[in-house]
Amino acid sequence: MKTTYITWHYTTHGVAYLKHILSCFFKKGHTPQNLHFDELNQMELNTVFDTPQEHEGFVFDKVIYLIAPQKSFDKLSSRRFSYKKNIVNDETIIDLGLSHIYDEITSNDDLCYNLSEELRFVKEKYPDKYDAFKKSIWKNIQHYPVLEQLKWLKEHSNFNNVYKDKLEIIELDVNDLRDEKHIANKVNAWLKNKSKELKGAENIINVSLGSNETQVVWHILAEAEQLPPNTRFIKTYDDKSSDKEKRFKPFSIKEIPTNLITSIGDGFSLFSETKSPSRKLVDKKMEVFLKSGFSILLLGERGIGKSHIAEKAKSTLTNQNNLIQANCASFDNDNTAEAELFGYSKGAFTGSLPGGKNGLIEEANKGVLFLDEIHHLSKLVQAKLMKALQTDRDNKMSIRKMGDSKETKVECRLIFATNKTIKELRQLLLPDFYDRIVQHVVNIPALRETKEDRMADWEKIWKGLKFPGAYNIPQDDNLNKWIKTLDLPGNYRDLQKIAMYYNAYLNFDEETRTMLNEKTPFSYSKKEFTKYHTVNTELEHEKYNFNTKQTTQEMKADYFFELQKWAVDKFKGRKNAIEHFKSKGDTVTDNTFNKWKNKYSLK
């Protein structure tokens, strides 16, 4: 997936700050997983692009720089107008022996703020100081008009050594950077025109730059679901507590939630509007478990949204800076798994990156590590991971990169996930590893068990896909009745497929509809979904054959597992199934169904 960095111009920092932020990512060599960096030195970052071959070099595929007319920025800050008075007394200018040159430039209105004329003047009159003057410009570039700053960035800085042809400058007709509604309308219109390109990329937006109002607008658009999918927010900020005499303070980069407003409040609340008791139980369990500090295991079928729960966990833990996640099924072999999880040092093996690589566990330091499909790890990798997950008295893990003898301390929250049952996990995992990850367990109900939320789930899926053309959620009674009857073995993924089929039909011309021999979007959606996505459903309802080699207790556990599954299907939801058993005089609760489902009630 391509990556895009998006930011507003910032009057008090300027384009050199943009270059230094990008230099940080380049120097660290990271893809945007861990978006947290501290104690960043602008003096050092300024030279990173001088010798790009010395670094591993992560580069965004595109950098989008949002600007407004100069008069709009001048309304925000008059700081640049005092530049003429203060620049000659700047300590860095004095040290470089450039004070008299800057004195002449700032005293001449025809020169000052005209980058080309300034450079020509110094080159002709002070050729021995030309290189020093050119290298000093970045320290004061924020005082220049924005277009002059961009001219410096593209023509006179080391930016082009790495980002040539990757910078896109977008001037929005924003005449008041203090008017949130005005800004939101302009940004939203631009986003809609850009939606196709941004939808296919991971978009990192620096929300801390621009004006206070532009920062608010990013959060408003996120809450209104107007931003592209795969959007993440970062903020950048200086350490004001450091040496007050030091002009360029150390700065930090930190990821922040995109759902800041809805995440306000205590506790974990993914299913806040649910009518389902089993979903309410997920929220209540997660709220308690996240405070405990122990690992959490998510049990749930494919497509049920386990990664969304991990995302919500990260935003709930407000002191956690990042979420690092991996699907263990994606590791080709043990070496790949070990390299990805633990990282490797320089020259650890043939084909390794020249400078080595941090592993996922180290990337998750001070954040959350989410490992999905944990059952795919081999016994060998389980054993190595088990050793790493053992914590010391400070709750820190010790990891060692491949090819390195030095241990690194890491502190992070651990969330694991699987679509296997507890019984299956016992067979697939080493006993010690099983004990380590099965501390707190959260069972995520399948959509067929929460039919009381079915239409709310459908509406959320439709809106979340953000179809071009801004079609409203279909008001189709036949469609809605049909959706309510489905088992949806693929859970949310099945709803997404139905939405995609329905939307596709809306975009077909009459000739295509005639060729398909389908007169309504509902008939087309039902036909396509039935054709491609119902085989598994039919197989799941085949008659169950008990394994006669099992013990009686194991066969009873299997029987009750099948009983609860049949009952949920038969009575259209867990709640109705429980009510049926109660009407027959049986003491059956939601907890009983959980035990039957996980096959441990009779063990």
DSSP line for 306-359: HHHHHHHHHHHSTT---EEEEEGGG--SHHHHHHHHHEE-TTSSTT--TT-EE-
% of the chain residues with pLDDT over 70: 89
With a cut of 90, say whether residue 174 has pLDDT above it.
yes
Q: Residue 38 belongs to what H/E stretch?
A: strand 36-40
Terminal-residue alpha carbon distance, the chain: 46
Q: What is the mean predicted confidence (pLDDT) over 215-237?
A: 90
How far apart CA 273 and CA 293 sit, in angstroms, is 27
Count Cβ atoms below 10 Å from residue 560 Cβ, excluding itself. Answer: 17
How far apart CA 236 and CA 231 sit, in angstroms, is 17
How far apart CA 433 and CA 84 sit, in angstroms, is 66
Burial class for 273, CB neighbours closer than 10 Å (0-12, 13-18, 19+)? exposed
Residues 6 or more apart whose CB falls under 8 angstroms from that of 380 comprise 334
User: Dihedral of CA 15/162/60/360: which sign?
Assistant: negative
Sole residue written with tokens 């058993």: 581
Tens digit of each residue's pLDDT (9 = 90 or more) over 487-503 = 999 999 999 999 999 99
CA atoms within a 13 Å half-sphere pointing along the CA-CB vector of 83: 22
pLDDT-derived band at 565, boundaries 50, 70, 90: confident
With a cut of 80, say whether residue 87 has pLDDT above it.
no
Tens digit of each residue's pLDDT (9 = 90 or more) over 352-403 = 676 788 889 988 888 889 999 999 999 999 998 988 888 887 778 888 888 8
What are phi and psi for residue 319, nearest 5 degrees? Answer: -90, 0
How far apart CA 38 and CA 255 sit, in angstroms, is 12
AA letter at 6: I
With a cut of 80, say whether residue 18 has pLDDT above it.
yes
With a cut of 90, say whether residue 247 has pLDDT above it.
no
CA distances for 204 relative to 228, 465, 538, angstroms: 11, 19, 43
* Out of 11-20, 79-88, 423-432, least confident range: 79-88
Instruction: Say which DSSP state 296 is in.
Output: E
| 17/249: higher pLDDT | 17
* Residue 496, pLDDT score: 95
pLDDT-derived band at 86, boundaries 50, 70, 90: low
Mean of the per-residue pLDDT values for the chain? 85
How far apart CA 92 and CA 129 sit, in angstroms, is 14
- Whether the CB-CB separation of 313 and 270 falls below 8 Å is answered with no
- Whether the CB-CB separation of 537 and 489 falls below 8 Å is answered with yes
Tens digit of each residue's pLDDT (9 = 90 or more) over 301-316 = 999 999 989 888 887 7
What are phi and psi for residue 114, nearest 5 degrees? Answer: -105, 95
How far apart CA 281 and CA 442 sit, in angstroms, is 9
How far apart CA 223 and CA 573 sit, in angstroms, is 31
Tens digit of each residue's pLDDT (9 = 90 or more) over 510-554 = 999 999 999 999 999 999 999 888 654 444 444 555 566 667 777
Angle between helices 277-292 and 306-316 (to 10 degrees): 50
**What percent of the residues of the chain are helix, what percent strand, and what percent coil, each to the nearest 5?**
50, 15, 35
How far apart CA 45 and CA 422 sit, in angstroms, is 50
* Out of 2-11, 50-59, 193-202, 521-530, least confident range: 50-59
pLDDT-derived band at 219, boundaries 50, 70, 90: very high
Q: What is the mean predicted confidence (pLDDT) over 54-65?
A: 88
* Residue 354, pLDDT score: 67
Reduce the DSSP state of residue 53 to 3 states and report it. Answer: helix
Tokens of residue 399, six digits:
């990891």
With a cut of 60, say whether residue 322 has pLDDT above it.
yes
Sole residue written with tokens 């054709």: 531
* Residue 533, pLDDT score: 80
| 181/580: higher pLDDT | 181
How far apart CA 248 and CA 90 sit, in angstroms, is 12
Residues 6 or more apart whose CB falls under 8 angstroms from that of 468 comprise 195, 196
pLDDT-derived band at 262, boundaries 50, 70, 90: low
With a cut of 60, say whether residue 81 has pLDDT above it.
no
- Whether the CB-CB separation of 419 and 360 falls below 8 Å is answered with no
Tokens of residue 456, six digits:
């709310």
